[in-house]
Amino acid sequence: MPSATPTPTGTAEAHLLDLELAEPPPRSRPNLAVVSTDIADPLADHESDHLPGSRGEHLLQCAFGSRDRAKKFYDNQMLDHLNEAMIEFIGRMEMAFIASADAKGECDSSFRAGPPGFLQVLDAKHIAYPEYRGNGVHASLGNISENPHLAILMVDFVRDLIGLHVNGRARVVEDADMRVRHPDIPAEYDRGRTPERWVVVEVEEAYIHCRKHIPHLQPVERTRDWGTDDAKRKGGDYFAAKATPKPWQQVVHTSGQ
C-alpha cells in the first residue's frame, strides 16, 4: 500500500538550488538611513538597467554585498515567460496567493482556491484565474483598476515542496468575453463556483521559491461550502471584530447628526 504521506520527489535539480540554499556568513550591514551625496552611485555602470527587478533591490544588493549572487539568481532562475515545467506546475495547483496594490501603493494580499486547473495557462505569456461571487469588497480588482501590477505565489506543500512566483500586468475580463476568446476554458463548476469574471495576467517574471522553509503538509478530505452566505460556514466573527468601533462608522454617525 502506498504511503499516505507523499515523499518529495526532488525534481528540482540540486545545482539550481545551490544559490537559494546557501547560507552566507553574516556581514556588517550599512546604515541605510544615512545617505551621503559624496558616495558614488553603485549602479553607475548601468548593468542593472538590463536586469529584472527594481532599482531599490539592486541598490540593496550592492549595500549588502549580494550583487553577484542576485545576478546568478536572475540568470539561472528567472524567466519572462512560462516554460513547460512551470505550466505543468500551475496546472496542478489548488490555491494561490495574490498580491496587489492601489495607485498609492497600499497593498492587499488575497487567497484564491479551486480544483486543479482553476488557474488557466492561456499561453506561455498569459495566466488567468477566475473571480467567483464573494463578499463584494473587490479589494484585488479595485487595486487592479488603479494599478495593473500583480504578483501570484503558488506553493506545492504536498509533493515537491517548491513554489513558483509569477509577476506581471493584470486586466479584468468578464466571463462571457473570456469564453469568446478562450472557448476551451472549463464550463462545468461546483455549485456556487461559476466565475463572474477573470483576471488575466501578462507574465513579466516567473521564478522559483526555494523549498528550504516550505512545510510538508498532508491534505485531508473536507466538505467545502462553495458560494455559501451562511455566516457560520464562512467563519463567522472569528476575530471578534463585529462589536469593535470603527473610525469610518464614527464619521458616518457624526455627519448624520
49-63 pLDDT, tens digit per residue, is 788 989 899 999 999
SS3 186: coil
Please give the domain boundaries of the chain with CATH numbers for all domains.
Answer: 50-79 (no CATH), 84-209 (2.30.110.10)
**What mean pLDDT comes out for the span 127-147?**
92
Q: What is the pLDDT of residues 91-111, one digit of tens each?
A: 999 999 999 999 999 999 999
pTM: 0.78
Higher-confidence residue of 73 and 187: namely 73
Cα–Cα distance measured from residue 102 to residue 144, given in angstroms and rounded to the nearest whole number: 7
pLDDT band at residue 119 under the 50/70/90 scheme: very high
Helices and strands: H and E segment counts in the chain: 7, 7
Q: What is the DSSP letter of 115?
A: S
Name the least confident of 42-56, 114-128, 166-180: 42-56
| Phi/psi at 149 (5° precision) | -70, 130
**What mean pLDDT comes out for the span 108-119?**
93
Q: How many residues does the chain have?
A: 257
SS3 251: helix
**What mean pLDDT comes out for the span 17-27?**
56
**What mean pLDDT comes out for the span 128-148?**
92
pLDDT of residue 3: 47
Higher-confidence residue of 256 and 178: namely 178
**What mean pLDDT comes out for the span 154-165?**
96
pLDDT of residue 162: 97
Tell me the residue type at 233: R
Higher-confidence residue of 29 and 62: namely 62
The helix-helix angle for 67-77 and 14-21 (nearest 10°) equals 150
Cα–Cα distance measured from residue 26 to residue 118, given in angstroms and rounded to the nearest whole number: 42
pLDDT of residue 200: 98
Residue 53's contacts (CB-CB under 8 Å, 6 or more residues apart) are 70, 74
